[in-house]
Amino acid sequence: MAALHAAAERDRDGGAPAPEHPARNYPPYRSSTSRHPHRPLVEIDHRADPEAVELSGPAFGVTDLTDLDADLTRQHPGEPLGERLTVTGRVLDRGGRPVRGQLVEIWQANASGRYAHRRDQHPAPLDPNFTGAGRCLTDDEGRYAFTTVKPGAYPWRNHDNAWRPAHIHFSLFGTAFTQRLITQMYFPGDPLLPYDPILGSVTDPAARARLVAAYDHQLTCPERSLGYRWDIVLDGPSATWTEEGR
């Protein structure tokens, strides 16, 4: 991983643009080896093809969720174990415009680092009061907000002594299928961040920093929860850009 980061730094020093997304082939993340395409992607220019199906996207509304979906600590009769968190931020497009009324979904391990998933056999306890899945729609300013608990680190078998840093998975829809994003939010100061090949697949340090939330004391609720702020910028053309002539 260090060698790949050094090579990326040399490329940037040589004037190459810093990659904004991870390469699909990143050997330190073992599963990527046999699952990335070898051939270059075929480009579709959204300006030449403004009616492409992908420049629109699915719609979601209030029937798609309930009020309790955004509070992962209230989905069961009892309180989940762990440090309670408020995680909020804005979803923006690359033009800085808020992405409104769009579905944001999250999922995560519980406080001891285990997913409520049958195939997760990490010998950490399951929490009967925590499933770890949530949803909300962004508001008129593009804001989302979740109440949850801090996920634990957990081992995985990618390499010797491999542990994933604490993270929350995010799934986002923009106004177009081309803006679709699945990503992970990390926590500031986590000592595991430098050792994680999934985060490390983003070889530009500035881009990696965009995956780390900021602790925000103003979001911290007295005697209730710690606050983190994490803004998300969706990539890719949206139909709105074309319509507005930008």
Partner 1 sequence: MPRATTRPQPAGREPGAAPAAPLAPTPSQTIGPFFGYALPLPGGGQIAPAGHPDTVTVHGLVRDGTGAPVPDALLEFWQAGPDGSLTGAPGSLRRDPVTGAAIGRNGVDFTGFGRVPTDADGRYVLHTLPATAPAGRPDAAPHLAVCVFARGLLHHLATRVYFPEHATANAADPLLARLPTERARTLLARADGPGRYRFDVQLQQTADGTHEETVFLAFR
Choose, from 46, 90, 167, 208, the residue flagged as catalytic.
167
**Rounded to the nearest whole angstrom, what is the least distance from the CB of residue 164 to partner 1 in the complex?**
9
Choose, from 164, 186, 208, 228, the residue flagged as catalytic.
164
**Rounded to the nearest whole angstrom, what is the least distance from the CB of residue 165 to partner 1 in the complex?**
12
Sign of CA dihedral 212, 213, 217, 222: negative
Cα 141 to Cα 144: distance, rounded to the nearest angstrom: 9
- In residues, how long is the chain? 246
Cα 96 to Cα 138: distance, rounded to the nearest angstrom: 15
Return the number of the residue (84 or 115) whose C-beta is nearest partner 1. 115
Cα 21 to Cα 24: distance, rounded to the nearest angstrom: 9
Choose, from 154, 186, 208, 228, the residue flagged as catalytic.
154
The two structure tokens encoding residue 6: 């050094």
**Is 154 a known active-site residue?**
yes
Burial 23-32 (b: 16+ CB within 10 A, else e): eeebebbeeb
**Rounded to the nearest whole angstrom, what is the least distance from the CB of residue 160 to partner 1 in the complex?**
19
Burial 106-121 (b: 16+ CB within 10 A, else e): bbbbbbbbbbbeeeee
- For the residues of 45-102, what is the DSSP string, one character each? -TTT-TT-GGGS-----GGG--GGGGBTTSSSSSPPSS-EEEEEEEEEETTS-B--S-
Return the number of the residue (27 or 224) whose C-beta is nearest partner 1. 27
**Is 115 a known active-site residue?**
yes
Return the number of the residue (93 or 127) whose C-beta is nearest partner 1. 93
Choose, from 26, 29, 84, 115, the residue flagged as catalytic.
115
**Rounded to the nearest whole angstrom, what is the least distance from the CB of residue 189 to partner 1 in the complex?**
9
**Is 167 a known active-site residue?**
yes
Residues carrying an active site annotation: 115, 154, 164, 167, 169
